[in-house]
Amino acid sequence: MVLIMVTGLVSGATDARAAAGDFRLNAGEELVAGQSLVSLDGLQTLSMQTDGNLVLYGDAGSRWQTATNGRGGARLALQTDGNLVLYDANNYPLWYTNTRGSGADHLDVQSDGNLVLYTAASGVVWQTNTRYQPASLNAPADLRAGEVLMSPSGQYTLAMQTDGNLVLYGPSGWTWQTNTRGSGAVRLAVQTDGNMVLYTASDYPAWIAGTRGSGLNQLKLQDDGNLVGYRPDGSWAWQTYTYPGGSAPTPTPPPPPAASKAEIAIAYARQQIGKPYLWGGVGPNAFDCSGLTQQSWAAAGVRIARVSRDQYNTLRHVPYAQAAPGDILAYATNTSAPSTIYHVALYIGNGQMIEAPSEGKPVRLTSVRATRLMPYVGRPTA
């Protein structure tokens, strides 16, 4: 079987020593150990190394490789059958593009960082997909679904995925993400107010960095793998802490709401128990879920947003395990996507809450339901 495979891969090729140092390898030519191809701008080099590894280098280091080191004497052949094959000293194929019969005519090392196998008519047969992408976004700017940021070395990529998730990838896989898959997010906006927000097609926020007013005006993906939001003076306002050895500091929980305010809000909510549910109701005779929570805190002199999703998105987030009386519980069809929140309730402590449930069910005191409960609560502050 091996002999058949080798016979299928081997095709007539001539020594490409005369082409070494050029940006192109033509069909029928070889790149032997110690030779290189260089892009027209001189910044990209495809090196057939003496250790057997084929490596594409940029100005900041390695960007792609065949990982065939340890097999000295290797050579790269662009065969006349269209296949690009890396052979060892015994003519055994170590790596190949599997493009036999494709009509591939030449391999180019491009100034944009990509290594591409073309037909004579300039059709793309195979590529390394290492074309340089922008490394930063300057406010106001969007990173839209299907677009990426790439570190200057090409080792790290921030992808705004079509599934709604924003993911930072490194050589070994993802290192950070917003956990917004399925949220409907279609763009990351770096805003002039200093905030970074993932928006859905209807401009609903699916994720918020919480940096409004910070002065952040640039999001930059660095060669150390860290994604950093910078101010104009060069100081950082936000980061993923994904540099080697980095770890996000344990956040200090915000102080609990002022006891007197929370007690007033809870006392108001208790007084509404038994009153009917009314969609859009804000009292005094009937309430919907967010109308009850809004008016309860209004009684304590604290203004919060009117509707459930806005309440959750605009209040400080505290893990449910640290919930305190007066906090606002939120329920969603997808607890990883705030855009799917459909209900809120007022937490009163001891695993209990007061809520305006739904049509036909009056305001009531009940146990906290764990099903579809968001992992964070919203905390109003005076």
Co-location of 94 and 145 in the same domain: no
Co-location of 215 and 271 in the same domain: no
What are 53-82's pLDDT values in tens digits?
Answer: 999 998 778 889 999 999 888 999 999 999
Co-location of 121 and 190 in the same domain: no
Number of domains in the chain: 3
Buried b (16+ CB within 10 A) or exposed e, 248-257: eeeeeeeebb
- Domain CATH code at residue 211: 2.90.10.10
Mean pLDDT of the chain: 89
First vs last Cα of the chain: how many Å apart?
A: 76
Residue ending a domain, choose from 92, 110, 127: 127
Co-location of 268 and 303 in the same domain: yes
Decide: 159 and 169 in contact? Cβ < 8 Å.
yes
User: Would you say residue 245 lies in a domain?
Assistant: no
Is the pTM above the cut of 0.75? no
The secondary structure of 233-250 as a DSSP string is TS-EEEE---STT--PPP
What are 301-346's pLDDT values in tens digits?
Answer: 999 999 999 999 999 999 998 999 999 999 999 998 999 999 999 9
Co-location of 62 and 156 in the same domain: no
Co-location of 121 and 155 in the same domain: no
Measured CA to CA, the distance from residue 314 to residue 244 in angstroms comes to: 33
Co-location of 226 and 279 in the same domain: no
User: Would you say residue 9 lies in a domain?
Assistant: yes
Half-sphere exposure of 115 (CA within 13 A, CB side): 22
Q: Enter the tokens of residue 143.
A: 């990173």
Mean per-residue pLDDT for 222-238?
Answer: 96
Residue ending a domain, choose from 67, 97, 127: 127
pLDDT, residue 15, reads 47
Residue 90: left if φ>0, alpha if ψ -120 to 50, beta else—which one? alpha
Task: Count CB-CB contacts under 10 A for residue 102.
Answer: 17
The domain of 165 spans 136-239
User: Would you say residue 187 lies in a domain?
Assistant: yes
Co-location of 85 and 25 in the same domain: yes
Q: Enter the tokens of residue 331.
A: 């329920």
Give the range with max mean pLDDT: 147-156, 202-211, 281-290: 281-290
User: Would you say residue 268 lies in a domain?
Assistant: yes
Residue ending a domain, choose from 127, 153, 171: 127
What are 9-26's pLDDT values in tens digits?
Answer: 444 444 444 344 589 999
User: Would you say residue 251 lies in a domain?
Assistant: no
User: Would you say residue 207 lies in a domain?
Assistant: yes
Decide: 335 and 375 in contact? Cβ < 8 Å.
yes
**HEC assignment per residue over 146-163:** CCEEECCCCCCEEEECCC
Decide: 287 and 277 in contact? Cβ < 8 Å.
yes
Task: Count CB-CB contacts under 10 A for residue 197.
Answer: 22
Co-location of 180 and 267 in the same domain: no
Cβ neighbourhood burial of 298 (10 Å; 0-12, 13-18, 19+)? middle
User: Would you say residue 78 lies in a domain?
Assistant: yes
- Domain CATH code at residue 353: 3.90.1720.10
Catalytic residue positions? 289, 343, 355
Co-location of 117 and 143 in the same domain: no
Angstrom CA distances, 273 to 41, 284, 346, 379, stand at 74, 12, 12, 22
User: Would you say residue 246 lies in a domain?
Assistant: no
What are 94-126's pLDDT values in tens digits?
Answer: 999 999 999 999 999 998 889 999 999 999 999
Co-location of 118 and 142 in the same domain: no
Co-location of 153 and 115 in the same domain: no
